[in-house]
Amino acid sequence: MITARTVIRAVVALAVTAAGLAALAAASAVRLPWHGANTAALRLSWSAHPERIEVCRALSKAEVEARNEHMRQRVECDGKAATYALRVRVDGALLGDEVVQGGGLRHDRPMHLLQSYAVSPGVRRIQLEFSRRERASDDSLRGAAAVPDADTGIFAGRAAREASERGRLTRAAVPPRLTLDTAITFAPQQVVLVTFDPDGRRLVLRVDTASRRVP
C-alpha cells in the first residue's frame, strides 16, 4: 500500500542517490593543478653511445704465435666508455652541470639523457655544452692502424676490416663535444626540446608550433 510515508521515503532515497551520483561525477572531474600557469621548460632528451676510450698495444710476432690460431689478434685493447659533462646555461645562468655516463654496470651501454629545466617565458639565450671528460690523449684509436706487420697470411685484409669497424663505432658514438648556443622565444606552457640528431651528429631544437627561433 502506498502511503505518504512511502512516498516521502522514496523521494528522500532518490534525492540521496542523486546527491551521491553528483558527488561521484564531481569527484571524476576535479581540477588538479599541474604546472605553473606562467612557466615554460627546456627539456634535453637523447640517447647515444658513449665513445670507447681504449689503450691499444700491438702484439709482437712471438706473442701472436704463442696464441691459438683462432685467438690471434695483432692489437689488444683495454678500454672503458667515455663520460660526458653536461652544462646548461639559460641567459648565462648555469642551470645544469652534471656528469652523464653510459648505462649498464660497466657504463658501456647507450647513455640516455632526460633533463628538464623550468624557464620563464620570453626570449632566452640557451647555451648547452656536452663534452667528453676524458682527455684526447687517452684516445688511442688512431694507434690501432699503426700495426707494423704486413697485412698478409691469415691477417690478410684484417687491418682494413678493423679500421672500418673502428670507424663505424666512432660514428655510432656521440661526438666528443656538442654545443648549442641560440636564442629562442619560450611561450607560456611551451616545452623546448633539445635532442641529438645522429645523422647530422649535432644537437637540434624541437619546438611546438607556438615557438619561433630568433634570427
DSSP state letter for 158: H
The least distance separating another protein from the CB of residue 133, rounded to whole angstroms, comes to: 22
| Residue environment code for 33-70, b if the CB has 16+ CB neighbours within 10 A, otherwise e | eeeeeeebebebebebbbbbbbebebbeeeebeeeeee
The least distance separating another protein from the CB of residue 177, rounded to whole angstroms, comes to: 21
The least distance separating another protein from the CB of residue 6, rounded to whole angstroms, comes to: 10
Give the burial class of 100: count Cβ atoms within 10 A of its Cβ; 0-12 exposed, 13-18 middle, 19 or more buried. Answer: buried
Binding site for another protein (CB under 8 A): 9, 12-13, 16-17, 21-22, 24-37, 39-41, 43, 45-47, 103-104, 109-110, 112, 114, 189-193, 195, 206-208
Cα distance between residue 92 and residue 120, in whole Å: 14
Which one, 83 or 195, has the nearer CB to another protein? 195
Which one, 32 or 71, has the nearer CB to another protein? 32
Which one, 99 or 136, has the nearer CB to another protein? 99
Q: Which residues pair with 95 in a beta bridge?
A: none
Which one, 67 or 213, has the nearer CB to another protein? 213
The least distance separating another protein from the CB of residue 52, rounded to whole angstroms, comes to: 18
Cα distance between residue 122 and residue 106, in whole Å: 42
